[in-house]
Structure 1
Amino acid sequence: MKPIKLIITALISVCIGGCSSQKELQADAAIENKVDSLLNQMTLEEKLGQMNQLSPWNFEDLAKRVRKGEVGSILNMVNPEEVNKIQKIAVEESRLGIPLIVSRDVIHGYKTIFPIPLGQAATFNPEVVKEGARVAAIEASADGIRWTFAPMIDVSRDPRWGRIAESCGEDPYLNAIMGTAMIKGYQGDSLNDPTAIAACAKHFVAYGAAEGGRDYNSTFIPERVLRNVYLPPFKAAADAGCATFMTSFNDNDGVPSTANSFVLKDVLRKEWKYDGIVVTDWASALEMVNHGFCTDGKDAAEKSVNAGVDMEMVSETFIQNLKQSIAENKVSIETIDNAVRNILRLKFRLGLFDNPYVATPQTVKYAEKHLQTAKTAAEQSVILLKNENQTLPFTDKIKTLAVIGPMADAPYEQMGTWVFDGEKEHTQTPLIAIKKMYGDKVKVLFEKGLEYSRDKNTAGIARAVSAAHQADAVVVFVGEESILSGEAHSLANLNLQGAQSQLIKELAATGKPVVTVVMAGRQLVIADEVKVSDAVLYSFHPGTMGGPAIADILFGKVNPSGKTPVTFPRMSGQVPIYYAQHKTGRPANPTEMLIDEIPVEAGQTSVGCRSFYLDAGNSPLFPFGYGLSYTTFEYSNLSLASDKLTAQDTLSISFTLKNTGKYDGTEVIQLYVQDKVGSVTRPVKELKRFQRVTLKARESTQVSLSLPVSELAFWGYDMNYTVEPGDFTLWVGTNSAKGLTKDFSVSAL
């Protein structure tokens, strides 16, 4: 009977899936009919109005334009009463009653602020990332916002670039997984749900490779690298049903992304069959004049829409010029119709025609469940980089604790970049959390030492050192103010700003155990600070609930499990540095002679003639995927079901993971693969799978991973995407620099 039951269950599942697909097809067809019907009624002026997105400065001026059908979307209106008022004008006073899409940058939370995306990536937990985006969508939609410009899934390998804070790090696979999770969270089960907001995959494409780490700068990414590294997260976003895409500010190989028909038409539309909206970044159409790619706004509008852009953000070159361009046959009416069709389709999918207004008032902001979700995200994002002599967690031997540093009680700064709507009054800082949650167990002495992260006035350091002398242990909170990371906030020097390094060194000189907690928007150069600290925790700006999360980690209620989503350099001059590098013909050896070891009058070839820095070597301070725990984990018994496969097979991997320590803990297991020889050179390692595994102290488990061989495909010498037969090595381990290995081969059919 049991097999029959399983067969019946399977048949029911197939039927439900088939019926569901049929319903979706019918719904899509119904929307297309509505779109075409409405499009046939529209004047050219109304069509161009739908392609126009404005950030209003004056409500009355906006209202006039909405009545005339000159606006398709608005930015940055967050008062729900005003949203309903302008929406009522669009629906009831414009000729065709087409609703507006209200949009806002909701990047890592709306009111309840989550860790910055780089911190969320450090969780290696897509479910937590999805839940965070869901909370953001619920809170933002309560104010009428139905479109956000996230996730940013630019592969980012240069911490000088301030926007690395907004990314999910250096790895294409991690960006794809986390970006997909955000999309699912923002958009929910259906865009038609009033709490769903349209996601936007940005920036299309290669913006994270801005030359020199300078924001808005040019990139020079050839097509093969573009397809193998920078496009995969966007392909995953398109496959996940991301409602919109945004063009990037950069030009790549001389072509600004806003007019790059190769990526917008050939790849996005033709190859990926994408039917969502493509919107420019803020004024990026008009900025092509500054690039020297367009002569004026009219030229910019023509090149943008002909390349595949549907909507223009704020610069209004479309609505001002395209009517003339059509008359001159420089832009076809079919191009305009396709753009407007994409815009109307999204408005129907969002249910705006049936339900254009937002219910007021709503009390979803800072809901207890939202705060708890944010705390969990913050807990899992914190990375333990060092823990000498088991300095952490604090035990009952610590009676007096000195809490020091400019970031210990900086509610605004710990929210990080892109928090237009975050309110520091709701932020729970480490100082407040430690006093509130553990003040009955320890006496807390607080001294800032420095007023803010860039402070060079060292007058307060003496008071901080005095407090340290009176304490059993010291926690010093350093890092970056929020203004030092994010868009337009690039840095050439990645060291701690101000006198923060001096503060740490003088605290360490007291002989008391020093725990350094870094809160920042990027990976900083902290080799000297790590050396003098007994323990180091790294928290990419953790948001509203960062304080309670860090407090529970310090006192052992929570065991840290975060992993580095980016490689940490030893010196700024190593940047860009990332784990998935190519070997070169002369890869460095671990024993290369460094600058202080070189004899005077050494011969030219005495240093080995290898690819490394004389003053920094070739290894990072901390590799990608690195993070310690209060417990220890042991990997053993790695085996493959088969080590000889074809492209149609699935690689089946198993191994034993044991918690060998005295604390319960969570390990992020990571699977990396290397294609040893290809038609083009391949990375030394590529992340292919990761998984969080929680084990009690001394507990062990058998872990199984599956990897379809098809996922080893890449764009080769002939620019075909395929799995090339040959030999491979895989690693399973705790980070990208160490693990158990096995070889396998893939043969041609």
Structure 2
Amino acid sequence: MTAEDPYIERLLKRMTIEEKAGQLTMNGAQGLGRLVNPDTGPEPGLQSTLDEIAQGRLTGLFNADDVKLGHAMQKIAVEKSRLGIPLIFAADIIHGLKTAFPVPLGESASFDADLCSRTARATAIEATAFGVHWTFAPAVDIARDQRWGRVVEGAGEDPWLGSLLAVARVRGFQGNDLRANDSLLACPKHFAGYGAVQGGMDYNTADIPETTLREVHLPPFKAAFDAGALSTMASFNDTGGVPSTGNRHLLTGILRGEWGFRGLVVSDFNSEKELVEHGYAADDADAVYKAVMAGCDMSIQGGLYLKHIPALVKSGRLKVAVVDEAVRRVLRVKKALGLFENPYRSLDPARMATDIRRPEAIALAREAGRKAIVLLKNDRGLLPLPKSGKSIALIGPFVTDKNNALGPWMVFPDMKSAVTLEQGVRAALGANANVTVVQGSGIERPLDGGIDAAVAAARAAEVVVVYVGEATNMSGEGASRVDITIPKVQIDLIDAVAAVGKPMVILLKHGRALELPNSVKNAQAIVCTWFLGSESGNAIADVLFGDFAPQGRLPISFPRRAGQQPFYYNHRVTGRPSLTEGPPIGARYREVSTSALFPFGHGLGYSTVTYSATEIDQPRISKSGRVVVKARVTNTGTRKHHEVAQLYLRIKVAEIVQPLRALKGIRHLDLNPGESAAIEFVLTAQDLAYVHADAKTRADAGEYEVVIAPDSTAGKPVSFVLSGT
């Protein structure tokens, strides 16, 4: 057992129960900076917050938008409260502060851990210059139902990729020293199983077998904590009937008991109060008791911990030792951040002028945007478009739109700096560009004469680029959708433009995989552009005109129809698998193939590649041995190409039925025309292991299949055997 910190122990002994409850209480601060009247002083909302700080009744505030006010608040906490315990300032900084990077799902399409680490580092620099110590990110929920709006916040459907990028983002946010002025405490969320809500409906129940919870949903959290994350946020959902905020099995049994986590757990917004709505707690006081007993250390918004913990302790129902342990965890994190030694760290207003929207951050946003783009289809090599000699019609509701460039979860957005598609294209082509811009329709409503104008522009152009998809408010929290489609008014626009018969590029703006209408599927070129952030227009133009070849890969599977949800590549094999021939007796629908329209891992470039047959160095290994898996990738085209080679594994016979394929490795390759590269992956028994019914992870003896391929459906596997010794 680790010895407790003497300084923290001395503080605990001096604290009243009200001050202890205060250290477990965080409230929102957004907008408070605008409540100061120069003639009369602070308005009541701000004054009550300042009073709470002076009385030691707040541990910190979240979403504060005024670094000068934050500094003033910290001064009150340190110099006027009885014990001088510093505040911690938090915010929902999900994919950038003022420099917006691609939404996490889009950035995850890069399959590039280094990129994700660098954008998180750049985010940390801006956030700490803004007065933030702690971000409620990264979201590491594994999401397999595209109806769920919060798919956009995570890394997609695969736990191996999700774990890789969780580590990268935690390390990027936190840097090498948590006490550094630009270190941002990470908070992997939402613990746990939030991505499995039934029906893809936000806040809904999640009924997850323990093996699936441990095999699919927990690995990214464990990876993030192993990388140094010292906080996590409880999820809104219940799992097996127990809401996460009150789930002792999750928050204490697994998190603290099995994993030895020594950081803090914070509720999601009012989630401890929602234990009452769940029917898990009788009233607010009961909710507080059950949340604290479960291991939820800090309450966000609502003040229920501050209101009820003192009374619960005085009544004898809640032991003060339980409260002390929660306070101990909060103070330990504050000390790890260096706040006791340097309470004004990250609260220097001068940094606002130097560290927000640095040129290198803007350049990184453009790089990240380019690398997030996924080329789904490119018939007859329509892309890249030439920079001269062709007239282009840019059509669609997003061509000139800044408001939907950044995407959901930008708490402090800088809309003015967003680069539109029109701006990006005109910058790429120069002043003499032959470009026509027509909106054609609104996002969900028609425009008078809009389609007629779009059709006329398409007829007059040699190439048509149509930019369609979702608005920002159609993805994110509370934005679950029954039909994961492009809005009908936009489909009508696409249908009309497609009927003109000109070569057509479809650019998709989206925060999830979409069901695509025939007019999109039949377009010559289809490009995933997600919500790419501040440099959206420039990043898209870089790819459209070939200054940068697309290299993104899908972190989610595109279904053929919305009704296939939940839909993901690494599903278990059924007793009656779907057959391509023969009677319809397999696991399939009457109306549609069970295959993905575009599978996990799919992504094209502007060249072509071939993969040799997958090879292994030996047909049998022991449990202490290893197998080397090899293949050769060749650029068979005429352009430079960036390939993302993927390693997939399957066990043929297992104690618990395993997925048809599971990602186990990736390699990034830069290949010149005609160039080949040999790649190798090394697998050990640890890589073959999975969670068994006893919750233990181990590898079964038996036959395994492996394949190196460009996506989750390609390639012919080769087999090897793991012996029982």
Q: Which TM class, normalised by the smaller chain length?
A: over 0.9
Query: How much has 1:288 moved relative to structure 2?
Result: 0.7
1:405 paired residue number: 396
Structure 1 residues 378-389: aligned runs within 5 Å: 378-389=369-380
Which of 343, 350, 359 aligns to 1:361? It is: 350
Deviates more, 1:147-156 or 1:711-720: 711-720
Query: How much has 1:470 moved relative to structure 2?
Result: 1.3
Deviation per CA, 1:615-659, whole angstroms, max 9, x where unpaired? Answer: 012111111111111101111153222231123223322221111
Distance between the aligned counterparts of 1:491 and 1:132, measured in 2?
Answer: 29
Structure 1 residues 304-703: aligned runs within 5 Å: 304-357=291-344, 358-362=347-351, 363-395=354-386, 398-440=389-431, 442-451=433-442, 453-457=443-447, 459-591=449-581, 607-703=583-679
Residue aligned with 2:188, SS:
strand
1:144 equivalent in alignment to 2:131: yes
The answer to whether the 8 A contact 1:648-1:710 is kept is no
Distance between the aligned counterparts of 1:313 and 1:567, measured in 2?
Answer: 35
Distance between the aligned counterparts of 2:281 and 2:248, measured in 1?
Answer: 15
Distance between the aligned counterparts of 1:310 and 1:71, measured in 2?
Answer: 13
Residue aligned with 1:36, SS:
helix
Q: Taking structure 1 as reference, are residues 32 and 650 closer, same or farther at Cα in structure 2, changes over 3 Å only?
A: farther
Query: How much has 1:591 moved relative to structure 2?
Result: 3.2
Residue aligned with 2:644, SS:
strand
Which of 178, 183, 189 aligns to 1:191? It is: 178
Query: How much has 1:435 moved relative to structure 2?
Result: 0.6
Distance between the aligned counterparts of 2:54 and 2:235, measured in 1?
Answer: 31
Query: How much has 1:458 moved relative to structure 2?
Result: 6.0
Distance between the aligned counterparts of 1:242 and 1:610, measured in 2?
Answer: 44
User: TM-score, structure 2 length as denominator?
Assistant: 0.96
Residue aligned with 2:665, SS:
strand
Distance between the aligned counterparts of 2:420 and 2:620, measured in 1?
Answer: 54
Which of 698, 714, 718 aligns to 2:690? It is: 714
The answer to whether the 8 A contact 2:142-2:155 is kept is yes
2:225 paired residue number: 238
Deviates more, 1:392-401 or 1:309-318: 392-401
Q: Residue type of the partner of 1:435?
A: R
The answer to whether the 8 A contact 1:153-1:168 is kept is yes
The answer to whether the 8 A contact 2:109-2:553 is kept is yes
The answer to whether the 8 A contact 1:527-1:621 is kept is no
Distance between the aligned counterparts of 1:135 and 1:617, measured in 2?
Answer: 43
1:161 paired residue number: 148
1:105 paired residue number: 92
1:125 equivalent in alignment to 2:112: yes
Q: Residue type of the partner of 2:393?
A: A
The answer to whether the 8 A contact 2:25-2:305 is kept is yes
The answer to whether the 8 A contact 1:646-1:748 is kept is yes
User: TM-score, structure 1 length as denominator?
Assistant: 0.93
Q: Taking structure 1 as reference, are residues 186 and 642 closer, same or farther at Cα in structure 2, changes over 3 Å only?
A: same
Query: How much has 1:397 moved relative to structure 2?
Result: 6.1
Query: How much has 1:527 moved relative to structure 2?
Result: 4.3
Distance between the aligned counterparts of 2:492 and 2:402, measured in 1?
Answer: 23
Distance between the aligned counterparts of 1:352 and 1:445, measured in 2?
Answer: 55
Q: Residue type of the partner of 2:285?
A: K
Residue aligned with 1:315, SS:
coil
Q: Taking structure 1 as reference, are residues 458 and 574 closer, same or farther at Cα in structure 2, changes over 3 Å only?
A: farther
Distance between the aligned counterparts of 2:600 and 2:458, measured in 1?
Answer: 33
1:22 paired residue number: none
Query: How much has 1:590 moved relative to structure 2?
Result: 2.2
Q: Residue type of the partner of 2:425?
A: I
Distance between the aligned counterparts of 1:101 and 1:235, measured in 2?
Answer: 24
Distance between the aligned counterparts of 2:413 and 2:580, measured in 1?
Answer: 46
Residue aligned with 2:529, SS:
strand
1:65 equivalent in alignment to 2:52: yes
Query: How much has 1:608 moved relative to structure 2?
Result: 2.5
Aligned residues: 707
Distance between the aligned counterparts of 1:639 and 1:37, measured in 2?
Answer: 62
Query: How much has 1:108 moved relative to structure 2?
Result: 0.5
Q: Which runs of 5+ in 2 are unaligned?
A: 33-44
Which of 14, 29, 32 aligns to 2:5? It is: 32
Distance between the aligned counterparts of 2:620 and 2:107, measured in 1?
Answer: 37
Deviation per CA, 1:266-292, whole angstroms, max 9, x where unpaired? Answer: 100010000001000000000110011
Residue aligned with 2:98, SS:
coil
Deviates more, 1:493-502 or 1:657-666: 493-502
Distance between the aligned counterparts of 2:243 and 2:373, measured in 1?
Answer: 37
The answer to whether the 8 A contact 2:388-2:429 is kept is no
Deviation per CA, 1:168-190, whole angstroms, max 9, x where unpaired? Answer: 10011111111111101110111
Query: How much has 1:469 moved relative to structure 2?
Result: 1.2
2:22 paired residue number: 49
Deviation per CA, 1:414-445, whole angstroms, max 9, x where unpaired? Answer: 21100111211000111111112213463111
Q: Residue type of the partner of 1:400?
A: S
Residue aligned with 1:540, SS:
coil
Distance between the aligned counterparts of 2:623 and 2:185, measured in 1?
Answer: 36
Deviation per CA, 1:193-247, whole angstroms, max 9, x where unpaired? Answer: 1101111011011111111111000010011111111111111111111120100
Q: Residue type of the partner of 2:165?
A: M
Query: How much has 1:331 moved relative to structure 2?
Result: 1.7
The answer to whether the 8 A contact 2:156-2:162 is kept is yes
Distance between the aligned counterparts of 2:518 and 2:613, measured in 1?
Answer: 38
The answer to whether the 8 A contact 1:90-1:98 is kept is yes
Residue aligned with 1:87, SS:
helix
Query: How much has 1:709 moved relative to structure 2?
Result: 2.1
Structure 1 residues 248-263: aligned runs within 5 Å: 248-263=235-250
Distance between the aligned counterparts of 1:408 and 1:655, measured in 2?
Answer: 42
The answer to whether the 8 A contact 2:498-2:519 is kept is no
Distance between the aligned counterparts of 2:267 and 2:469, measured in 1?
Answer: 33
Distance between the aligned counterparts of 1:186 and 1:307, measured in 2?
Answer: 28
Query: How much has 1:748 moved relative to structure 2?
Result: 1.5
Query: How much has 1:42 moved relative to structure 2?
Result: 1.6
Residue aligned with 2:291, SS:
helix
Q: Residue type of the partner of 1:345?
A: R
Query: How much has 1:33 moved relative to structure 2?
Result: 2.6
The answer to whether the 8 A contact 2:177-2:183 is kept is yes
Q: Residue type of the partner of 1:239?
A: D
Q: Residue type of the partner of 1:360?
A: P
Distance between the aligned counterparts of 1:422 and 1:529, measured in 2?
Answer: 34
The answer to whether the 8 A contact 1:505-1:532 is kept is no
